[in-house]
Amino acid sequence: MNTPWYHKTTIYQIYPRSFFDSNRDGIGDLKGIILKLDYIHQLGFETLWISPFFSSPQADTGYDISSYTDIAPEYGSMDEALQLIDEVHQRGMKIVFDMVMNHTSIEHPWFKESRTSRNNPKSDWYIWRDSHLPSLGEGLGVRAKPNNWQSLTGGSGWHYSPERKQYFWSSFLPFQPDLNYRNPEVKKTMSDTVRFWLNKGVDGFRLDIFNVIYKNAEFRNNPFSFKLLPTEDDPSGFFQEAKFNLNQPESFAFAKELRSVCDEFGEKILLGEVSGDRSIIRKFLGDDVNNGLGLVFDFEMLNFQFSADYFRKLIERIEIHFPDPFMPVYVFSNHDRRRSIHKLGEDLRKAKLLALLQLTVRGVPCVYYGEEIGMTDLPQPFNTAMDPVPHKFRSIPRFVFDLLGLTINRDEVRTPMQWDSTPNAGFSSAGKTWLPVHKNYSKINVERASKAEDSLLNTIQGLMKVRNHERSLQEGSLEILSGLPKGILGYTRKLNKEKVAILLNFDPQPRKFEFEYSECLFKLSKTDNLANAKLHLNGYSGMILKA
């Protein structure tokens, strides 16, 4: 079977509010993305994933949608959305929208109607339940939540609505009520929403918190667990095992249904935001054949350690869980987590080595805007945050989260793109931008990076050229090399007769060792070399070699 395009692609994630502001209101917009398309094209990325820009009260900056088929005015118009799709395609690129299917905004007309009574036409579109102690009664003022489930942000996800004298369920925050996919009308309407955008030419979707889309039909209580905080490989936490509110069998089945909706339009990407053990998240892709979501994120690697040993083990485990015909995704940053540069001690040599790995390992790389220039997080106080999450945790001192390595205030990783050293980093010519621009913009920006031959930006561009040229890097099999010196990670990528080897030195010391390859396709450091079957790699350096 031919490898689908979305298994060979490279993804660049845009957070539209922070990419480029074309009309001086301090907010990035669709026109702004259009104006910067050549930049992404020249960098060499094929696919753009754009975080939501649909109608929304923006209580969770667009992840709270009030109309799936309208564009929020601050981002532009439908015409501009269509122009964006078209301009992306004209450059031979692909465009992926962010589909927040699990929940709407509390302001969505569907929810407004649903909450009015227990018998309106939309009454069953959301997840409504009675108190589990109805007989204690309102009269006594005693109410008990329908069950013990916790939301993904901690605390009960059940919220009381006096109109219906019932609770509605929110997996994330109280103003993001979950839709009820056990109602066929909901499923049909949302499938038609997917069709609506496919008809307009989008190449697929990133699926927001897709692992919570179905909940246990009987609403059984979750069992107790000693786990305090959810982790990437195990979403259980807040002292309970998340057994009945996520990763349900119905969600795996729905992944296949959604795939068949997409198949009506050809080969489309479905990239699931899911979390849990790899053997579980793999189920979203299909059983033995690729007939579910085409790709899922694997967030464990966001907590990577910078060592050859860590990455060797990571790749080995990933190869076990995502063998052909599946394809893993390699992602180190996004709009919810700390930028990877922090884990690298802001060392650009390390960032280049990580990019070498991400763009040559077997998998689809997904790069968050600004990573290519080493943009850093901007610490900001919780109490003035745009992001609703830190407001929930205002009573807990910040150092607690810092110690735990948690990004609670996601504003910190969403600051405006740093284009050049003019005011507001060239992001906007407004007086004030929606989030402050990082003070380091005169040092860290695209213009400056593009002029420095050995910048991270130019390194990534160079790597992308090699990747886009070598089919073995896009779809070849992977084999880890053994017998290499300590601190060196090496693997080969092979497709038919084409074979390349990638060698990465994770140690600060240079290394010299025997290696029989004929040609060097790429090296991170000018003084790395391969001569007479001897390979010399500088500290934190790496190479791509051809057999």
Just list the catalytic residues: 208, 273
The neighbouring-strand residues paired with 107 are none
Q: Exposure of 35 by Cβ count < 10 A (0-12 exposed, 13-18 middle, 19+ buried)?
A: middle
To the nearest whole angstrom, how small is the minimum distance from the Cβ of residue 424 to Ca ion? 12
Interface residues for ligand GLC in 15-54 (CB under 6 A)? Answer: none
Report the alpha-carbon distance of residue 83 to residue 315 in Å, rounded.
39
Query: Residue 209, interface with ligand GLC (CB under 6 A)?
Result: yes
To the nearest whole angstrom, how small is the minimum distance from the Cβ of residue 479 to ligand GLC? 34
Alpha helices in 298-445 (DSSP H): 308-321, 340-343, 348-360, 388-392, 398-404
Binding-residue total with ligand GLC (CB under 6 A): 9
Query: Residue 172, interface with ligand GLC (CB under 6 A)?
Result: yes
Compute CA distances 300 → 274, 329, 437, whole Å. Answer: 11, 11, 29
Task: Give the count of alpha carbons within 13 A of 314, CB side only.
Answer: 26
Report the alpha-carbon distance of residue 505 to residue 511 in Å, rounded.
8
Nearer to Ca ion, 21 or 46 (CB): 21
124: nearest Cα among 170, 171, 185? 185
Nearer to Ca ion, 58 or 147 (CB): 58
User: Per-residue x/- marks for ligand GLC, 425-444, CB under 6 A?
Assistant: --------------------
Cα dihedral sign for 250, 211, 114, 155?
positive
Nearer to ligand GLC, 315 or 331 (CB): 331
Query: Residue 233, interface with ligand GLC (CB under 6 A)?
Result: no
Number of other CB atoms surrounding residue 217 within 10 Å: 10
161: nearest Cα among 175, 151, 147? 175
To the nearest whole angstrom, how small is the minimum distance from the Cβ of residue 454 to ligand GLC? 33
Contact (CB, 8 A) for 522 and 495: no
- Per CB under 6 A, the list member of 46, 208, 298, 319 interacting with ligand GLC is 208
To the nearest whole angstrom, how small is the minimum distance from the Cβ of residue 184 to ligand GLC? 24
Nearer to Ca ion, 27 or 367 (CB): 27
**Residue closest to ligand GLC when measured from CB atoms:** 63
Report the alpha-carbon distance of residue 465 to residue 459 in Å, rounded.
10
Nearer to ligand GLC, 242 or 315 (CB): 242
To the nearest whole angstrom, how small is the minimum distance from the Cβ of residue 366 to ligand GLC? 13
Scanning 19-27, 124-132, 202-210, 467-475 for contacts with Ca ion by CB under 5 A, the matching segment is: 19-27
- Per CB under 5 A, the list member of 14, 27, 43, 341 interacting with Ca ion is 27
User: Contact residues for ligand GLC (CB under 6 A)?
Assistant: 60, 63, 100, 172, 208-209, 273, 335-336
